[in-house]
Structure formats: C-alpha cells, structure tokens
Amino acid sequence: MKKLLVTGAIIASSIFSVGAMAQMSDEDAAAAVKRRQSVFQMLSFANGPLGQMARGGDFDAEAASLAADRVAMLAPMIPDLFAMADTRSNSVTTRAADTIWDSQADFAQLAQDLVDGAMAAKEILASQGAAGVREAVGQIGPKCGACHDRFRLD
C-alpha cells in the first residue's frame, strides 16, 4: 500500500513537471497572443476619452473618471496573461520581448505602476475637474510608455 502511494506520488509529480515544461501548441500560443493584445486594445480604448479631453475635447467628468477606472481594472490582467502563457518558443507574431518571462517581477511592477497612475489620475480629476485633465493623463500615458520602452519590440 505504502509502495503504491509512493509510486503514485512519483507518477503524479512527473506528470506535473512534464505539464509545466510541456510546450504549448502554436495554436494555443496564437490564442494567448490574441488575448493579451485584446487587453492592450481595450486599454487603448478605455484611455481614449481622456486623451481626447487632454487634446482640447469637451470635458466630461463622468467619462474621464470612468476612463481611469477602466484602465485600473484592465492593467492587472497584463502580468497574469503573460505569466499564464510563455510563448517564447512558439512560432507566433508578437511584439512582446522574450525578456518579459525572465523579468516577471519588473513586468508586474510596471503594470502596477499603471494601476497606481490611473488611481492618481482619478483623484486629480475628482479634485481639479477639467483643470486637472492634462495632469491626469500625465499619470497614465507615461506608464504605458515605460513598459513599451522596455518590453515591447518595435
């Protein structure tokens, strides 16, 4: 019985370690790339109204605050999606740098910086209204750029 349990544990652990090392199919990897790129598209869409207001568009307090909320809600998905699918050894079309998976803590911190920036933007908008739009955008845009500079290929 004891021997059976030990054998079972060995088999289970080798299944898990093989599972962890197993390479994703290119099909699964392509789906993962699509999924993370969709989150970036959504981030861009969410942040859009704030950008427009900063460029002189009409100020809408509710839309501005909603934009910041949406960015703060989406950003934590970035590190999760990359941690869940290491696509480095797959044949996929991506602008993600391979170094993301060797620097996951830094990558997650850059996403957290974006969350913090969006929360700060929300506070600025609440206290300053239209007068704070540029400052609010300044809390968000550079956080996108900081991660792109380091982890997004040209």
Catalog residues that contact ligand HEC under the rule CB under 6 A. Answer: 33, 36-37, 40-41, 43-44, 47, 71, 78, 94-96, 107, 110-111, 114, 140, 143-144, 147-148, 151-152
Q: Report, in Å, the least distance between residue 113 CB and ligand HEC.
A: 7
CA dihedral (133, 135, 140, 142) positive or negative: positive
Q: Report, in Å, the least distance between residue 98 CB and ligand HEC.
A: 11
- Which residue, 4 or 153, has its beta carbon nearer to ligand HEC? 153
- Which residue, 68 or 132, has its beta carbon nearer to ligand HEC? 68
Taking alpha carbons only, the member of 65, 43, 52 closest to residue 147 is 43
Q: Which residues contact 151 (CB under 8 A, 6 or more apart)?
A: 96, 97, 99, 100, 103, 107, 110
Q: Report, in Å, the least distance between residue 60 CB and ligand HEC.
A: 19
- Max Cα-Cα span within the chain: 75
- Which residue, 122 or 143, has its beta carbon nearer to ligand HEC? 143
| Alpha-carbon gap, residue 8 to 3, rounded angstroms | 8
- Which residue, 117 or 132, has its beta carbon nearer to ligand HEC? 117
Q: Report, in Å, the least distance between residue 11 CB and ligand HEC.
A: 36
106's tokens:
């830094």
72's tokens:
């703060």
